[in-house]
Amino acid sequence: GENVEQHPSTLSVQEGDSAVIKCTYSDSASNYFPWYKQELGKRPQLIIDIRSNVGEKKDQRIAVTLNKTAKHFSLHITETQPEDSAVYFCAAKKGAAGNKLTFGGGTRVLVKP
């Protein structure tokens, strides 16, 4: 089955700096890659996603890039703010339909003011 690895497990950045989280996946048939943000005690919330026919997607301060050949994708957060502090999860799914997401282990991001 699919395996998703996520690095780093923790990331501390100064407010205003950029943060980058990287994920690799094992199944070349995977075609959908979402990123979720989870604040302490809350549910995961989708922040951005990308499909395999796109190499990059941006939404204000966050962006995701996908390298299908290398089977890795990354989340980029620019101009970090204290409210960006949370745990971020990447995930992968294959198939046109279906709902079987395989998650990475998560990255705890701390933005220091």
Site map for other proteins, 57-86, x if CB under 8 A?
A: ------------------------------
Query: 1, 97 in Cβ contact below 8 A?
Result: no
Instruction: Report which of 53, 78, 51 is spatially closest to residue 63, judged by C-alpha positions.
Output: 78
The answer to whether residue 1 forms part of the interface with other proteins (CB under 8 A) is: yes
CA atoms of 5 and 1, how far apart (whole Å)? 13
- DSSP-assigned letter for residue 107: E
The answer to whether residue 34 forms part of the interface with other proteins (CB under 8 A) is: yes
Instruction: By CB under 8 A, name the binding residues for other proteins.
Output: 1, 4, 6, 32, 34, 42-46, 49, 51, 89, 91, 93, 96-106
